Structure 1
Amino acid sequence: MAKNMGAADKIIRIIIAAIVGILYFTGIISGTLGIILLVLAGVFVLTSMISFCPLYVPFGIKTCKIKEK
């Protein structure tokens, strides 16, 4: 897997995941919607940690500045 996520993309995803986590654990969002958003937040954190988003591949999106040889 080649990296396809830049630093700004990773930071934005982690911030969104943190906000969703806070909203879920404070009870502002709950139920099925809360669980779905919490799973999505987990995916955001995971993809940020490995710097690879599988959804970017079919669309040819790369937000990282490193060029492959």
Structure 2
Amino acid sequence: MKKNMGLTDKIIRIAAAIFVAILYFMGTISGMIALVLGIFAIIMVITSFISFCPLYIPFGISTRKKE
């Protein structure tokens, strides 16, 4: 598994996940929307920690800086 996520990409994904959590705990989102957004938030956090996004592979995208 080759890393393909840069620092900015990781920060944006974690910020989006935190935003979803805030919306949920404030009661702004609930039900099926909360469940779907929660799953996406968990996926975003996991991909941020492992620095790998499988959706980038088919498109040849990498946000990492060249070494």
Unpaired stretches in structure 2, ≥5 consecutive residues:
none
Which 4+ residue blocks in structure 1 deviate beyond 3 angstroms? none
Q: In structure 2, give the amino acid aligned to 1:46.
A: I
Determine the structure 1 residue equivalent to 2:26.
Answer: 26
Aligned residues: 67
| TM-score, normalisation: structure 2 | 0.96
Percent of paired sites with the same residue: 58
Q: CA RMSD in A?
A: 0.8
Counterpart of 2:57 in 1: which secondary structure?
helix
Tell me how far apart the structure 2 counterparts of residues 32 and 61 of structure 1 sit (CA, whole Å).
31
Unpaired stretches in structure 1, ≥5 consecutive residues:
none
| TM-score, normalisation: structure 1 | 0.93
State whether structure 2 residue 18 is matched by structure 1 residue 6. Answer: no
Counterpart of 1:59 in 2: which secondary structure?
coil
